[in-house]
């Protein structure tokens, strides 16, 4: 049945509904989030907080809401009087100052339910919510909105946070104060909801379906609240669009202004490149010449000697010693452009694996006996497996061998 009434509001509507009540003298706020999707209404979120400020912690955060007041400041009476609002108010609250009080009336076929509250209290709460960044777009008093659920509940007693409501023949039959802390769970048109949240659900469904006829002088204030929120929302959207348009305009202006400047800058950079090209070429030629001289020096003085040294070392190597590396005058550091090349002059660095320690020792002794060797240093000798060990040697050559 609810699905047939969804045409009153556009698809995708999300309603935040709150009940602001007293629970044994302590503030208690029950809330639900109802989302209209396609042909159904979903109860997506329900929550309870102890202060207005805590609504900021609800996910998704509450930015606007429909508020139902059921605190001790709200009085509710049941009257057999029906008819116009004036007739019902005159029969129920004959001396009521309508300049100081808001009222709402729910009429059934045989009786009326009238809720009243001081305007000052209602406005104070609206301001309190606004201070926390929450716009109140509608206010309801008492349990008058519960009449929205009557057609979907059958003949039963329906509990809310503060009251028990009798339902008969799809209408509210009576409203009484709830004496015990009773919490029940209802399934209303496939919406599963605890009794503590039935009234916020009814308020949300009333906003979507507009089925229950509730009258009173609070309706004008609600229209004003809705208008104010719509104006604020419209202003925010216009401000966002305006800022976006301004930023786009500034960007376009920036690109147009810089177009010629970038062209001029590009020409200046090209000119600077051509101006410095000759000097750069000369510098590169000098660097190349220096490197060629270094390479020729190394090749001219070191190649024949290094071959001789390596031949002598390898000639004496036993079969139980395997070489991994053999470097003559190794580099100290990685070569960098424009930096001097540093080598360990007069040094041969060897690494490998020895299978027999005695053969290795004899080989090292044989190396030390060579006429071009000044000193042999074992940097490391570590057993890696049962029958083998990794080693590293540094062989320092005599001064005569390096010149």
Residue 268 belongs to a domain: no
Q: What is the mean pLDDT of the chain?
A: 84
Pick the last residue of a domain from 216, 234, 254: 216
- CA 352, chain centre distance (Å): 56
> What residues make up the domain containing 70?
2-216
Structural domains of the chain, count: 2
3 state DSSP class of 148: helix
Which of the two residues, 342 and 74, has the higher pLDDT score? 74
Whether the CB-CB separation of 217 and 120 falls below 8 Å is answered with no
Q: How far apart are the first and last CA of the chain?
A: 107
Q: Supply 162's token pair.
A: 């503060």
159-185: pLDDT as tens digits: 999 999 999 999 999 999 887 788 899
* Calpha distance 339→358 (Å, rounded): 44
Inform me whether the pLDDT recorded for 199 exceeds 50.
yes
85-134: pLDDT as tens digits: 999 999 999 999 999 999 999 999 899 999 999 999 999 999 999 999 99
Q: What pLDDT was estimated at residue 298?
A: 53
Pick the last residue of a domain from 198, 216, 234: 216
Q: Are residues 45 and 161 both part of a single domain?
A: yes
The beta-strand segments (E) located in 254-362 are 321-328, 347-354
Backbone angles phi, psi at 273, to 5 degrees: -65, -45
Q: Which of 73, 150, 81 is nearest to 115 (CA)?
A: 73
Pick the last residue of a domain from 171, 191, 216: 216
Question: CA of 65: how far to CAs of 17, 141, 293, in Å?
Answer: 5, 15, 85
| Mean pLDDT in residue range 380-396 | 84
Q: Are residues 333 and 197 both part of a single domain?
A: no
Model's pTM, two decimal places? Answer: 0.58
How do strand 40-49 and strand 64-70 relate by DSSP bridges?
Answer: unpaired
Q: Are residues 195 and 51 both part of a single domain?
A: yes
Among 20-24, 102-106, 295-299, 343-347, name the one with the lowest average pLDDT: 295-299
Q: What pLDDT was estimated at residue 7?
A: 42
Q: Are residues 209 and 321 both part of a single domain?
A: no
Residue 303 belongs to a domain: no
262-286: pLDDT as tens digits: 777 777 777 777 777 777 777 777 7
Q: What pLDDT was estimated at residue 130?
A: 94
Residue 246 belongs to a domain: no
| Mean pLDDT in residue range 206-219 | 83
Residue 133 belongs to a domain: yes
Residue 221 belongs to a domain: no
Task: Report residue 296's pLDDT band, with 50, 70 and 90 as the boundaries.
Answer: low
Q: Supply 35's token pair.
A: 């989302």
Inform me whether the pLDDT recorded for 300 exceeds 60.
no
Q: Are residues 342 and 198 both part of a single domain?
A: no
**Domain at 384, CATH number:** 3.30.1360.100
Residue 24 belongs to a domain: yes
Task: Report residue 291's pLDDT band, with 50, 70 and 90 as the boundaries.
Answer: low
Residue 202 belongs to a domain: yes
131-159: pLDDT as tens digits: 999 999 999 999 999 999 998 888 999 99
Beta bridge partners of 177: 163
Q: Are residues 176 and 59 both part of a single domain?
A: yes
Residue 79 belongs to a domain: yes
Q: What pLDDT was estimated at residue 3?
A: 45
Among 172-176, 189-193, 201-205, 260-264, name the one with the lowest average pLDDT: 260-264
Q: Are residues 211 and 323 both part of a single domain?
A: no
Task: Report residue 299's pLDDT band, with 50, 70 and 90 as the boundaries.
Answer: low
């Amino acid at each position: 049945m609810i699905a047939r009434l969804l045409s009153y509001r556009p698809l995708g509507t999300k309603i935040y509904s709150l009940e602001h009540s007293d629970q044994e003298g302590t503030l208690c706020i029950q809330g639900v989030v109802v989302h209209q999707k396609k042909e159904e209404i979903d109860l997506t979120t329900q929550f309870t907080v102890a202060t207005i400020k805590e609504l900021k912690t609800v996910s998704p955060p509450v930015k606007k809401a429909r508020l139902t007041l059921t605190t001790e400041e709200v009085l509710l009476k049941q009257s057999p009087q029906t008819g116009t609002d004036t007739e019902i108010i005159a029969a129920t609250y004959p001396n009521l100052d309508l300049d100081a009080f808001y009222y709402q009336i729910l009429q059934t076929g045989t009786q009326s339910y009238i809720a009243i509250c001081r305007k000052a209290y209602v406005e104070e709460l609206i301001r309190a919510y606004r201070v926390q960044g929450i716009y109140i777009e509608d206010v309801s008093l008492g349990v008058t909105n519960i009449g929205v659920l009557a057609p979907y509940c059958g003949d039963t007693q329906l509990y809310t946070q503060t009251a028990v409501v009798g339902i008969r023949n799809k209408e509210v039959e009576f409203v009484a104060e709830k004496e015990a802390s009773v919490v029940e769970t209802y399934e209303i048109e496939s919406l599963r909801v605890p009794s503590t949240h039935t009234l916020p659900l009814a308020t949300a469904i009333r906003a979507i379906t507009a089925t229950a006829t509730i009258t009173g002088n609070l309706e004008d204030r609600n229209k004003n609240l809705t208008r104010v929120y719509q104006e604020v929302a419209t202003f925010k959207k216009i401000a966002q669009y305006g800022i976006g348009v301004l930023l786009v305009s500034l960007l376009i202006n920036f690109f147009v202004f810089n177009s010629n400047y970038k062209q001029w800058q590009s020409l200046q950079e090209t000119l600077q490149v051509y101006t410095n090209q000759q000097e750069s070429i000369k510098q590169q030629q000098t660097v190349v010449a220096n490197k060629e001289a270094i390479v020729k020096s190394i090749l001219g003085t070191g190649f024949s000697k290094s071959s001789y040294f390596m031949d002598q070392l390898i000639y004496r190597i036993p079969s139980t010693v395997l070489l991994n590396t053999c470097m003559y005058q190794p580099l100290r550091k990685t070569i960098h452009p424009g930096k001097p090349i540093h080598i360990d002059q007069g040094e041969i660095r060897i690494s490998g694996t020895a299978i027999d320690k005695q053969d290795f020792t004899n080989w090292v002794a044989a190396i030390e006996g060579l006429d071009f060797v000044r000193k042999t240093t074992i940097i490391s000798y570590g057993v890696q497996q049962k029958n083998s060990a990794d080693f590293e040697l540094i062989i320092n050559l005599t001064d005569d061998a390096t010149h």
